[in-house]
Structure 1
Amino acid sequence: MKKALCSAVALMCGLAASLSTAAHAQTAVQIYGIVDSGIAHLTNVNSAGDSITKVPSLTSSFPSRIGFRGTEDLGNGLQAFFVLENGLALDTGTQQQGGRLFGRQANVGIKGAWGTITLGRQQNMTYISGLKTDVLGPHLFAIGSIDPYLPNARSDNAIGYMGNFNGFVLGATWSFGRDASNAGGPAATNCAGEVGGDSKACRQVTGLIGYETKAWGLNASYDQLRGNVGAAGGLTGSDNTDVRKTVNAYVMFGPTKLGGGVIARDTDANATVGDSESNLYYLGVSHPFGSFVGDLQVARRDTKDSPNDVNMLVARLTYAMSKRTFVYGAVGRMDNKGASAVALDAGGSVGAGMAQNGVMAGLRHHF
């Protein structure tokens, strides 16, 4: 009897091990990341006209990160997936995105031929709409300096959908509480939402429609942020809104990409901050030659009924030392009009109404 019992236990243990191995074989988990840092020199960082040399915190050519993503084949064309992505400041080793452990992405979802459904903290449609049209991307000198929300367009407590049907792209997100961190900054605006009795508090809705091919693409997006008591940016009530409408396009001329767009912003804030309207225009070109890639971008923010406009010009050159390691340099200029004080470098400072010049160099490695 003992012998039979031991044999049965051994058989069950062996079967469990086999099932565990089979299940593991069906799950693919990848660890990936970018480690990117540089040195930047900026003029006119204050009203006295002083200059500064520093190692940037928010980004360099790309924000540094480490991520984990996994997929499991569920059969019948379905896949389950997850993404956990941490952002870090390489100058100090601290966490970004308002101190979140996985502030860049933290979500789980399912995908099939009909598209992808995602639950959790995720990139919303404003972020996705600019991915293929902004040739500089989340660079230290880029349009994210003019509108810091753009490279931080992520939503907490969100459900998202994305589908591509023979080039036609449809997407949307709905957040019940768009930003739960109160640490300050563009990724931490103290609007956790999910408040009983006020379903509009900190709600966010974004949408995207477009068409994409290898040769060209065109898309339009909509993004409405709502506020709540204590939220940043003057959105201290659920009736206060910050709306961005974008139209973006890219076209390929052989290996050369031309990309640009317009971002119309309409803020209905409290009496302290006040309402405002602006249009942000950008146009860039990217061209590879040998192991080099050259990028050039111009941008302008035109604020309605205000002299506080901004013009930006940036040039960047990147050299691929290998498939994973790159060195780069960039120069840029930000012209502030009126009382505008938009720094050339993301998260930096500049004297009000002053022009700022900058130069930077850095090293990036992908893994």
Structure 2
Amino acid sequence: MRKYALMASLAVLAVPTHGQGSVSMYGIVDTGVSYYDRVTAAGGTSLGMPVLPGVPSRFGFRGSEDLGGNLKAFFVLENGFATNDGSLSDGGRLFGRLANLGVVSPYGKLTLGRQATMTMLALGKVDVLGPSIHSMGNFDTYLPNAHSDNTIGYLGTFRGITVGATYSFGRDAAGPDGPSATNCPGEVPGDFVACRQYSAMLAYDAESFRVVGSYDVMRGGAGASAPLTSPAYVDTRTLLGSYAQIGATTIGVGWVRRNTAAATHVQSDIVFVGSAWSATPALTIDTQVSRYVQRREAAATLLVARANYLLSIRTKVYLSVGYMFNGQLAAYPVASGGSVMTGANQFGTMLGLQQRF
């Protein structure tokens, strides 16, 4: 008996020990009813439930495990979907928003898989509206969809200074189906640069303000969505931004320069100024002005105001109102996924409901 007891004890000791781990589910469900005018030459209007509402709806799983020695392993799986019809977004992928894992140490975080680029992380605080039905993403659909496949990422913060970078071997394997799917999987034997992407960020954070800059480069590939239909074509975005917390008000400002060197060269700039005012613990008022200028071509200005009212800690109602001033050659819709006649101004509004879990 003592022999068997000793063998059982040794077997228990031989099993590897694991640190504490956790897995949680989270998400946002957002929907509402929107209206906007001048969708046709005859002045037609649109009324319905938008595919792209106030905030992209999503659910996800995140987990972590303490490995000891100040190391922690983690994973994130995040799905995007449309609440109006239940369809998958982000190119129709099950976890098209995020699908990654990595390790956190005192020297920063290393992430492998589909993840946000430094452009999205840099915009996160300075753009007070964020992804929304009325936002500067209507000028550049990449901004609210800045994720990349097959990516190695690093992010570290040291005494208020944050540095980050990503490198993708093939930035987007899905599509073309929506603004976040461009059919550029890359990893082509003999073609090292096809569909490569890299981004970098440098930020400084103090108690009540942030200054941030980022740089983002995308390569094209054969068969990819226009304009990046060749590995020789390059799309770059440079971002500078800042925000400050002044009492109950947050003010964010920024500039995004885009250069597309493809069959033709296109340069554009977006300048934005916004504020978020906490009028009461339950009521927040957001406003933003965004100006878009495409060199020698189109120009437009977007004005947005949004009121958010918390019904509980997880549920809120909101009213968003936007007005797009289009120049003579511009046709930028006031609503994400909408349409407008060239040179026509457009009004849009949405009454929405959102729950987080």
Q: Same fold judged by TM-score > 0.5? A: yes
| Residue in structure 2 matching 1:337, options 327, 330, 336 | 327
Q: CA deviation at 1:185?
A: 2.1
What is aligned with 2:344?
354
Q: What is the rounded CA distance, in whole Å, between the counterparts of 1:343 and 1:214 in structure 2?
A: 37
RMSD: 1.9
Preserved contact between residue 31 and residue 69 of structure 1 (Cα < 8 Å): yes
Read off the aligned partner of 1:320 and give its amino acid letter: L
Q: What is the rounded CA distance, in whole Å, between the counterparts of 1:31 and 1:351 in structure 2?
A: 42
Superposition pairs of residues 299-310 of structure 1, within 5 angstroms: 299-306=290-297, 308-310=298-300
Q: Is 1:170 matched with 2:163?
A: yes
Q: What is the rounded CA distance, in whole Å, between the counterparts of 1:236 and 1:278 in structure 2?
A: 20
Preserved contact between residue 82 and residue 109 of structure 1 (Cα < 8 Å): yes
Q: What is the rounded CA distance, in whole Å, between the counterparts of 2:101 and 2:350 in structure 1?
A: 37
What is aligned with 1:124?
117
TM-score, normalised on structure 1? Answer: 0.93
Q: What is the rounded CA distance, in whole Å, between the counterparts of 2:140 and 2:46 in structure 1?
A: 22
In percent, how many aligned pairs have the same letter?
43
What is aligned with 1:71?
64
What is aligned with 1:54?
48
| Residue in structure 1 matching 2:257, options 251, 258, 264 | 264
| Residue in structure 1 matching 2:208, options 208, 211, 215 | 215
Q: Is 1:298 matched with 2:272?
A: no
- Per-residue CA distance 1:116-139 (angstroms, 9 max, x = gap): 110000000010010000010011
Q: What is the rounded CA distance, in whole Å, between the counterparts of 2:15 and 2:182 in structure 1?
A: 46
What is aligned with 1:318?
308
Q: CA deviation at 1:4?
A: 7.3
Q: What is the rounded CA distance, in whole Å, between the counterparts of 1:157 and 1:130 in structure 2?
A: 22
Q: SS at 1:259's partner residue? A: strand
Q: SS at 2:126's partner residue? A: coil
What is aligned with 1:143?
136
Q: What is the rounded CA distance, in whole Å, between the counterparts of 2:269 and 2:321 in structure 1?
A: 24
Read off the aligned partner of 1:356 and give its amino acid letter: Q
Preserved contact between residue 172 and residue 206 of structure 1 (Cα < 8 Å): yes
Structure 2 gaps, min length 5 = none
Q: Which moved more, 1:228-237 or 1:66-75?
A: 228-237
Q: What is the rounded CA distance, in whole Å, between the counterparts of 2:139 and 2:111 in structure 1?
A: 29
Q: CA deviation at 1:184?
A: 2.4
Read off the aligned partner of 1:284 and give its amino acid letter: G
TM-score, normalised on structure 2? Answer: 0.95
- Per-residue CA distance 1:161-183 (angstroms, 9 max, x = gap): 10111110100000010010123
Read off the aligned partner of 2:60 and give its amino acid letter: G
- Per-residue CA distance 1:181-236 (angstroms, 9 max, x = gap): 12322111110000111111000010101101231100110011110111112111
Structure 1 gaps, min length 5 = none
Read off the aligned partner of 1:286 and give its amino acid letter: A
